[in-house]
Amino acid sequence: MRRILVTLAFCLSFAAPAAADFEAGRTAYQNGDHATALKEFQAGADDGEAEAQAALGIMYARGEGVEKDMAQAAAWFTKAAEQGHLHAQHLLGRIYHSGAAGARDVAKAILWFEKASDGGYAFSQLALLAIYYKGDGVPQDLVKAAEYARLAAEAGLANAQLQYGYMLLAGEGVERQPQEAYFWLYLVTQEGSQDAVSLLSQISHDEVSSEQRLVIERRANDWMAKQKRR
């Protein structure tokens, strides 16, 4: 059975605005006016606004309106992360994991990924899945990997659904459950994943009958419909 492995996600999108000055900065940013965006974000960040601090960190990380400076990005992400900003916590985890601002520190990366994960941030759950599955800087822990795969899969991330379906099918870190594997893999086939199609083909009709497949597919279609309504 071919192994499937997700990669860490580094999402740099903005979260919803928290204040009018942040909204002005975001509007300027979306219009390509980085100078105005930088001014607005800097003002909010200096006033302690977590959204502005996270946005300013992103501009430093990308080198937009300022010279790219990952140390400055990390500093602003830290300020926002310490206020509980989930996206900043995730991005700070990514910086520590990659060593983009200095020495690589997987322990600190895990710390911030866990904080964001505890707040329901699915991309951090995906990152922790990859770390524990590979044993990246920590002992491999397939049980933890499977748990983070489940959380991120339930949040709707296709990469996690594929990985969790594979782990359920292979019995990695979790009891082997072909029917549950079929559910998660079927979801990913609806996204056009050939990996999921290949894995589904390995589930025999002795393990999951035609009748069971129809029931599971109806359940999966209902699940997808509910996700779209959110």
CA-CA-CA-CA torsion for 75, 12, 110, 142, nearest 10 degrees?
A: -170
Q: What is the mean pLDDT of the chain?
A: 92
Helix, strand or coil for residue 78?
Answer: helix
Helix, strand or coil for residue 210?
Answer: helix
pLDDT tens, position by position, 139-155 = 999 999 999 999 999 99
Whole-number pLDDT of residue 195: 96
How would you class 1 by CB atoms within 10 Å of its CB: exposed for 0-12, middle for 13-18, buried for 19 or more? exposed
pLDDT tens, position by position, 105-135 = 999 999 999 999 999 999 999 999 999 999 9
Percent of the chain as helix, strand, coil, to the nearest 5:
65, 0, 35
Whole-number pLDDT of residue 228: 87
Distance CA 151, CA 78 (A): 25
57 band by pLDDT with thresholds 50, 70 and 90 = very high
CA distances from 108 to 99, 121, 143, 160, 191 (A): 11, 17, 21, 23, 34
Distance CA 177, CA 132 (A): 21
17 band by pLDDT with thresholds 50, 70 and 90 = very low
Whole-number pLDDT of residue 42: 94
pLDDT tens, position by position, 156-211 = 999 999 999 999 999 999 999 999 999 999 999 999 999 999 999 999 999 999 99
Separation of CA 154 from chain center: 12
pTM of the model: 0.89
Token output for 91: 């991005």
